[in-house]
Amino acid sequence: MVTEKIIPKRESMQANIRIQRFTPGRDRSPYYDNFSLEVDTGTTILAALHAIKDEQDSSLTFRAFCRSAICGSCTVRVNGRSVLACSTQLLPILKDFRKGSVTIEPMANLPVLRDLVVDIDPILEKLSKMHPYLVENPERVPEALERESLMSQEELNEFDYMTDCILCGACYSACSSVKADGTYAGPLTIAKAYRFSVDVRDDFRGTRNQAAVDQGLWSCVQCRKCIRVCPKDTRPADSVRRARKLTIDDGIQDTPGSRRAKAYTADIERYGQVNKPMLPVVVFGTRGWDAIEAAEAGLRKHNIKPTREVCTLDGKDGAAKVFEKVREVEQQKQEDKP
Ligand code: SF4
Ligand code: SF4
Ligand code: FES
């Protein structure tokens, strides 16, 4: 039988590549340069940047090392989306966006050092406060290293999905909460802390939990942008959510975020929906009344009658049954624990 060799169809296109330029101390503000480049099937953003640097403007500055989506150093924003330059092909983007034009900018939420290179020290500083390493639990890690510290598949599954993180910072660049509040630790740092905290060989969970709370664990708005941009599919927003549960389960219960989470749960069980008008009081205590009164005054100005009532949804009994079932399952899990 004669087998026919399949040759992939190659395409090419003339691209207009718009790149943000900025040298602090020399330029008053960022500006854009346009470069025209012939782009083929398979040309990556990184290959295009190299071609521009080699053939058109040697002063263009960007960062990259492995070219294999491993080192995490080449993250940039392409048409506003944070991506790895070395593993993102240009042609499909050019076809999708503005017919042959693409804009490349440095990562967001970090200071620019030059052109597409950002200072990642703020991430590293936040990460170091999370103790992102294993502190051996003597009950699980043998003192002498002639034996392995074994764990079950279930124990590994607790954090295995996070181990592919390459610290590229794409999630940090995309994060709405970091943008709103620069002191928030960011998705990758919280996720890294969580990865070690649920490792059965670790003995430092309490300190890490408190570090996560202190660095804004409850500031995340669960917009899930970090999940959408992560090139390794490590789902950092899920780790943030699980880290919150972990801190509550471990006894850190008196934070605005944990009070809000408890109020949500209690309201949904009781009414079938969240009693939003009263949330500020539940979360911030008597200080919350000021917020409520200010909101009510604002509504009255527009002839809208404020209400503190929460109506009970028809589905409330269904919600209560779901809670009952969840508690049954949780109790069963506790009983099944070895
Ligand atoms: S889900 Fe949370 S951590 Fe992720 S991008 Fe949104 S705010 Fe940031
Ligand atoms: S979680 Fe994903 S996006 Fe964030 S640093 Fe790790 S690999 Fe990059
Ligand atoms: S150059 Fe290493 S991840 Fe892109």
Residue 154: C-alpha distances to residues 150, 151, 199, 273 (Å): 12, 8, 11, 34
> CA-CA distance, 250 to 315, in Å (whole number)?
32
Say yes or no: CB of residue 86 within 6 Å of ligand 3.
Answer: yes
Assess whether pLDDT exceeds 90 at residue 107. yes
Question: What ligand 2 atom has the least distance to the C-alpha of 172?
Answer: 4
> CA-CA distance, 74 to 169, in Å (whole number)?
10
Cα 223 to ligand 2 centroid, rounded to whole Å: 16
Say if residues 21 and 27 touch (Cβ distance below 8 Å). Answer: yes
Residue 164 lies in a domain: yes
For residues 270 and 207, membership in a common domain is answered with no
For residues 107 and 145, membership in a common domain is answered with no
Supply the pLDDT for residue 296.
82
Cα 45 to ligand 2 centroid, rounded to whole Å: 19
Biggest CA-to-CA distance, the chain: 82
3-state secondary structure of 130: coil
pLDDT band at 139; cut points 50, 70, 90: confident
- Across the chain, what does the average pLDDT equal? 89
The residues, ordered by sequence, that sit 6+ positions from 63 with a Cβ below 8 Å of its Cβ are: 73, 74, 116, 117
Say yes or no: CB of residue 226 within 6 Å of ligand 1.
Answer: yes
For residues 232 and 141, membership in a common domain is answered with yes
Q: Which domain CATH number covers 178?
A: 1.10.1060.10
Position 116, amino acid: L
pLDDT band at 243; cut points 50, 70, 90: very high
Residue 154 lies in a domain: yes
What are the residues facing 213 on neighbouring strands? Answer: none
For residues 164 and 210, membership in a common domain is answered with yes
Overall number of domains in the chain: 3
Q: Which domain CATH number covers 95?
A: 3.10.20.30
Residue 5 lies in a domain: no
Nearest to 184 by CA among 228, 125, 137: 125
3-state secondary structure 296-325: HHHHHHCCCCCCCCCCCCCCHHHHHHHHHH
What average pLDDT does the segment 111-137 reach? Answer: 96
Residue 292 lies in a domain: yes
Say if residues 277 and 292 touch (Cβ distance below 8 Å). Answer: yes
> CA-CA distance, 155 to 150, in Å (whole number)?
10
Supply the pLDDT for residue 57.
98
For residues 111 and 66, membership in a common domain is answered with yes
Position 222, amino acid: Q
For residues 315 and 303, membership in a common domain is answered with yes
Say yes or no: CB of residue 237 within 6 Å of ligand 1.
Answer: yes
Position 151, amino acid: M
For residues 191 and 174, membership in a common domain is answered with yes
Top-confidence range, 168-172, 216-220, 293-297: 168-172
Nearest to 292 by CA among 311, 306, 312: 306
Assess whether pLDDT exceeds 90 at residue 232. yes
Say yes or no: CB of residue 64 within 6 Å of ligand 3.
Answer: yes
Nearest CA, atom 3, ligand 2: 230
Q: Which of the ligands is closest to the CA of residue 240?
A: 1
Cα 144 to ligand 3 centroid, rounded to whole Å: 37
pLDDT band at 189; cut points 50, 70, 90: very high
Q: Which of the ligands is closest to the CA of residue 223?
A: 1
Residue 39 lies in a domain: yes
What are the residues facing 81 on neighbouring strands? Answer: 78
Which 8-state DSSP code applies to residue 84? E
Q: What is the pLDDT of residues 302-338, one digit of tens each?
A: 888 777 766 666 666 777 777 788 888 888 887 877 6
For residues 96 and 76, membership in a common domain is answered with yes
> CA-CA distance, 160 to 251, in Å (whole number)?
25
Q: Which of the ligands is closest to the CA of residue 85?
A: 3
Say yes or no: CB of residue 180 within 6 Å of ligand 1.
Answer: no
Nearest CA, atom 6, ligand 1: 223
Supply the pLDDT for residue 172.
98
Q: What is the pLDDT of residues 244-282, one digit of tens each?
A: 999 999 998 888 888 888 888 888 887 777 777 777 777
Say yes or no: CB of residue 266 within 6 Å of ligand 3.
Answer: no
For residues 183 and 263, membership in a common domain is answered with no
Say yes or no: CB of residue 84 within 6 Å of ligand 3.
Answer: yes
For residues 196 and 263, membership in a common domain is answered with no
Q: What percent of the chain has pLDDT over 70?
A: 94
What would the two tokens of residue 275 be?
A: 């009693």
For residues 195 and 170, membership in a common domain is answered with yes
The residues, ordered by sequence, that sit 6+ positions from 210 with a Cβ below 8 Å of its Cβ are: 252
User: Which of 206, 234, 249 marks a domain boundary?
Assistant: 249
Supply the pLDDT for residue 314.
61
Residue 159 lies in a domain: yes
Nearest to 84 by CA among 103, 101, 63: 63
Supply the pLDDT for residue 282.
77
Alpha carbon 150 to its chain centroid, in Å, reads: 30
Assess whether pLDDT exceeds 70 at residue 216. yes
Say yes or no: CB of residue 223 within 6 Å of ligand 1.
Answer: yes
For residues 44 and 59, membership in a common domain is answered with yes
User: Which of 215, 249, 283 marks a domain boundary?
Assistant: 249
Q: Which domain holds residue 275?
A: 256-333
Say yes or no: CB of residue 67 within 6 Å of ligand 3.
Answer: yes
Higher pLDDT among residues 300 and 233, named by residue: 233
Q: What is the pLDDT of residues 23-78, one digit of tens each?
A: 999 999 999 999 999 999 999 999 999 999 999 999 999 999 999 999 999 999 99
Nearest to 213 by CA among 178, 252, 171: 252
Supply the pLDDT for residue 306.
75
Helix (H) or strand (E) holding 236: helix 236-249
User: Which of 214, 249, 284 marks a domain boundary?
Assistant: 249
Is-above-0.95 flag for pTM? no
Residue 6 lies in a domain: no
Q: How many residues in total does the chain contain?
A: 338
Say yes or no: CB of residue 69 within 6 Å of ligand 3.
Answer: yes
